[in-house]
Structure 1
Amino acid sequence: MTRIFISLGSNIDAHTHIYNGLNDLAEELDNLMISTVYESEAVGFEGDNFLNLVAQADTELSIEQLVSLFKAIEQKHGRVRGAKKFAPRTLDLDLLLYGETQCELPVVLPREEIYHNAFVLQPLAELWPEGVIPGATVNLAQLWQDYKKQQKLWPIEFRWPR
């Protein structure tokens, strides 16, 4: 089993898409746990606020299989392939960490967004504060403490029963 961390985000019917996306992930992955869900303003474009969180799970799936699974779940929930990078999203699933793996393909791991986006780093640090990202020298709690908090996030109430 490999421990993985996944970023989830949505700004189109966000509660519904996040909730259903988590249910789909729980069907395919073991021991799924989630961070607090945070709301934030859209970054890079004018649009509705986003809901973001990080999920932790265990899996026997390979990185390639996970990428395919995430694309299928996104598509199931109305994600349009080939849309602009900075645009509204029904559901966005990104693999952040896959155990201790560092790679460039099929995706870059650890994912760079960890270091650049509060909506990724804060919930990741919440789930695994003592964790050290492969290639980093300090733990996630320290990374979050040192992060220049320019983007505003606020926790929201979100109930997911699993």
Structure 2
Amino acid sequence: MTRYFVGIGSNEKAVQNCAAMIRAVCSTFQSVCVSSVVRTPACGVDAPNYLNAVVSFEASLSLSELHRWCKALEKQLGRTRNRKGVCEADLDILEPGQVSEAFFQPLILQVQAFLEGTVSTVNLETVALQLDEQMRVGDAPCYFSQN
């Protein structure tokens, strides 16, 4: 089993799409840790703000299999790549310590700390998402485990 970190983001129907991405990860993989969900500005383009988070889980998939799964989910959620700065769904496999997006770095650290039983905060605006009647994410890191 390999521990993966996946960054998620959306700025088109962001609440709906981020919730759908997190639900899909939680229903596909076991023992999922979800960072805070944060609002970040679109960089370099005139576009709506993004919602971003990091999910982490262990899986027996290869890196290429996980990449295909992520791209299939993006497509399922309506991802088109011809609209500059607008993104329905973005899932990127992240390598801790080698992440270029500044907003993902504290989210990865937050997830790592949470998994180790310690606390790490983020200094970005957090957004709460209600995934269903029992699952809420966003305010702080959380953990979901399938029985």
CA distance in 2, matches of 1:51, 1:121: 15
Which residue matches 2:13? Answer: 13
Greater RCO, 1 or 2 (C-alpha within 8 Å, sep 6+):
2
Unmatched 5+ residue regions in structure 2? Answer: 136-143
Which residue matches 1:29? Answer: 29
Q: Say if 1:130 and 1:16 are closer, same or farther in 2 by CA, change over 3 A.
A: closer
Q: Say if 1:51 and 1:36 are closer, same or farther in 2 by CA, change over 3 A.
A: same
1:8 shift after superposition: 0.3
CA distance in 2, matches of 1:17, 1:76: 11
Which residue matches 2:141? Answer: none
Unmatched 5+ residue regions in structure 1? Answer: 98-109, 132-140, 145-151
1:87 shift after superposition: 1.6
CA distance in 2, matches of 1:159, 1:128: 23
What letter matches 2:7 in structure 1?
A: S
Q: Say if 1:75 and 1:111 are closer, same or farther in 2 by CA, change over 3 A.
A: farther
Matches of residues 75-114 of structure 1 in structure 2 within 5 Å? 75-80=75-80, 82-83=81-82, 87-97=85-95, 112=98, 114=99
SS of residue matched to 1:3: strand
What letter matches 1:158 in structure 2?
A: L
- The sequence identity of aligned pairs, in percent, is 25
1:16 shift after superposition: 0.4
How many residues of Structure 1 are paired with residues of Structure 2 in the alignment? 129
1:159 shift after superposition: 3.1
**C-alpha offsets along residues 37-69 of structure 1, whole Å, 9 cap, x if unaligned?**
000111121110100000011101111100100
CA distance in 2, matches of 1:44, 1:58: 34
Q: Say if 1:130 and 1:54 are closer, same or farther in 2 by CA, change over 3 A.
A: closer
SS of residue matched to 2:31: strand
Give the TM-score normalised by the residue count of structure 2. Answer: 0.77
Which residue matches 2:140? Answer: none
Q: RMSD between aligned alpha carbons?
A: 2.5
Q: Say if 1:20 and 1:120 are closer, same or farther in 2 by CA, change over 3 A.
A: same
Give the TM-score normalised by the residue count of structure 1. Answer: 0.70
Instruction: Pick from 140, 150, 155 the counterpart of residue 126 of structure 2.
Output: 155
1:128 aligns with 2:112: yes
After the TM superposition, which parts of structure 1 deviate over 4 Å for at least 4 consecutive aligned residues? none
1:29 shift after superposition: 1.6
CA distance in 1, matches of 2:82, 2:7: 19
1:117 aligns with 2:101: yes
